[in-house]
């Protein structure tokens, strides 16, 4: 049973002496359900993906960008052969930036940026960020990866970065995340009807989501948040579900669960401590809710984080050892 749970934890093989990994994946195969503490950015350049994150399905077309938040259980389906750019980065060491956690909570489980509907200037900025990271990460390695030339990923991925390149890459990633956070309401409004009432509601709901991200560990209710937003309880419940795709209490629960996942990586905290810190009334309620959302009790999910098994669906990296 333990090995069954452990098989979902991907041991991300970062570039030597860094907490970064970037590669171009040409494997036409599916990745079974797995999770890791890194953020993951997927940018299909030749073929689409279907990605399921925390029971939400994202059809990631060529040119789209998908940012998967840390500790999110996800599975990836390759619909056709072709290259996809991957960036994985561990932000767990940057634990004193509350806005970073807030950004991940608001984007969770993933942020899907669609090329077809994203404003051109926003899309161009994000693509430029990825291009800059690629140039720094791959260094003097030929860019044939993007031009159909097959390269040995082990040579590129597991070499060392030039001095200070890791700092520069993290700086670009921070700008990428900050830019996404500042434009989050834009991404959510893209498919909405652009009448004045819709825009007014979206502005209010964006403010509500920010408020929840700062107070989700407290005892807050639907009535309180509706009053904060200036709507009746029933009207707020309807427009909030349309805006986020889930009910208020589902949204609140997901934020608490995502925060609890982060806390579970700290072995010094007990499950009981984590349940109260994440805003649950008891450890029993926490365990029941956590298992319902993730499929695993908190204690077993913690075991997944301690196990060091690579993702078996990727044979190139499965047996790699430094």
Q: What is the third-level CATH fold of 10-189? A: Jelly Rolls (2.60.120)
- Confidence band, pLDDT 50/70/90 cuts, at residue 213: confident
Burial 280-312 (b: 16+ CB within 10 A, else e): beebeebbebbeebbebbbebbbbbbeeeebbe
> Is pLDDT at 260 greater than 70 in this prediction?
yes
Residue in the block written with tokens 């669906």:
313
Spatial separation of the C-alpha atoms in residues 214 and 217, rounded to whole Å: 8
Q: pTM for this one?
A: 0.69
Q: Of 36-45, 265-274, 303-312, which gets the smallest average pLDDT?
A: 303-312
- Confidence band, pLDDT 50/70/90 cuts, at residue 190: low
Residue 50 bridge partners (DSSP): 59, 77
When pLDDT is averaged across residues 206-233 and rounded to a whole number, the result is 89
The C-alpha torsion from 282 through 287 and 292 to 297, rounded to 10°, is 170
- Confidence band, pLDDT 50/70/90 cuts, at residue 142: very low
Backbone angles phi, psi at 130, to 5 degrees: -65, -40
Q: Are 208 and 244 in contact (CB under 8 A)?
A: no
Residues of the chain with pLDDT > 90, as a percent, come to 38
Spatial separation of the C-alpha atoms in residues 313 and 31, rounded to whole Å: 5
Q: Are 180 and 125 in contact (CB under 8 A)?
A: no
The widest CA-to-CA distance across the chain, in whole angstroms, is 60
For residue 111, the model assigns a pLDDT of: 94
Task: State pLDDT tens for residues 278-317.
Answer: 999 999 999 999 998 888 899 888 876 544 333 333 333 3
Task: State pLDDT tens for residues 42-66.
Answer: 999 999 999 998 778 999 999 999 9
Domain positions in the chain: 10-189, 192-245
Residue 232 bridge partners (DSSP): none
Q: Are 256 and 285 in contact (CB under 8 A)?
A: no
Task: State pLDDT tens for residues 64-108.
Answer: 999 999 878 788 999 898 999 999 998 877 766 778 877 888 888
Q: What is the 3-state secondary structure (H, E, C) of the chain?
A: CHHHHHCCECCCCCCECCCEEEEEECCCCCEEEEECCCEEEEEECCCCEEEEECCEEEEECCCCEEEECCCCCEEEEECCCCCEEEEEECCCCCCCCHHHHHHHHHHCCEEEECCCCCCHHHHHHHHHHHHHHHHHHHCCCCHHHHHCCCCCHHHHHCCECCCCHHHHHHHHHHHHHHHHHHCHHHHHHCCCCCCHHHHHHHHHHHHHHHHHHHHCCCCCCHHHHHHHHCCCHHHHHHHHHHHHCCCHHHHHHHHHHHHHHHHHCCCCCCHHHHHHHCCCCCHHHHHHHHHHHHCCCHHHHHHHHHCCCCCCCCHHHHCCCC
Indicate the pairing of strand 65-68 with strand 39-44.
antiparallel
> Is pLDDT at 145 greater than 70 in this prediction?
no
């Amino acid at each position: 049973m333990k090995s069954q749970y452990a098989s979902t934890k991907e041991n991300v093989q970062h570039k030597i002496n860094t907490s970064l990994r970037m590669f171009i994946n040409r494997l036409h195969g599916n990745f079974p359900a797995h999770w890791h503490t890194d953020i993951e950015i997927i940018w299909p350049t030749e073929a689409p993906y279907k990605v399921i994150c925390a029971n939400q399905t994202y059809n990631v077309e060529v040119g789209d960008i998908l940012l998967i938040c840390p500790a999110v259980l996800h599975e990836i389906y390759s619909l056709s052969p072709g290259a996809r750019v991957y960036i994985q980065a561990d932000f767990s060491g940057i634990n004193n930036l509350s806005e970073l956690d807030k950004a991940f909570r608001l984007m969770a489980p993933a942020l899907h940026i669609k090329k077809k509907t994203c404003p051109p200037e926003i899309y161009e900025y994000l693509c430029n960020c990825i291009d800059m990271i690629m140039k720094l990460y791959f260094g003097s390695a030929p860019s044939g990866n993007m031009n159909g030339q097959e390269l040995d990923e082990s040579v590129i991925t597991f070499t060392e970065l030039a001095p200070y390149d890791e700092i520069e890459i993290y700086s670009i990633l921070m700008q990428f995340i900050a830019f996404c956070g500042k434009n989050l309401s834009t991404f959510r409004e893209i498919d909405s009807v652009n009448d004045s009432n819709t825009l007014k509601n979206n502005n209010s709901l964006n403010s509500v989501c920010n408020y929840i991200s700062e107070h989700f560990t407290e005892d807050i209710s639907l009535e309180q948040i509706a009053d904060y937003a200036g709507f009746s309880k029933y009207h707020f419940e309807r427009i909030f579900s349309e805006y986020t795709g889930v009910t208020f209490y589902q949204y609140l629960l997901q934020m608490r669960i995502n925060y609890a996942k982060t806390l579970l990586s700290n072995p010094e905290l007990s499950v009981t401590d984590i349940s109260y810190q994440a805003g649950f009334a008891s450890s029993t309620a926490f365990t029941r809710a956590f298992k319902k959302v993730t499929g695993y009790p908190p204690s077993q999910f913690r075991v997944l984080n301690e196990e060091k098994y690579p993702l078996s669906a990727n044979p190139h990296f499965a047996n790699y050892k430094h």
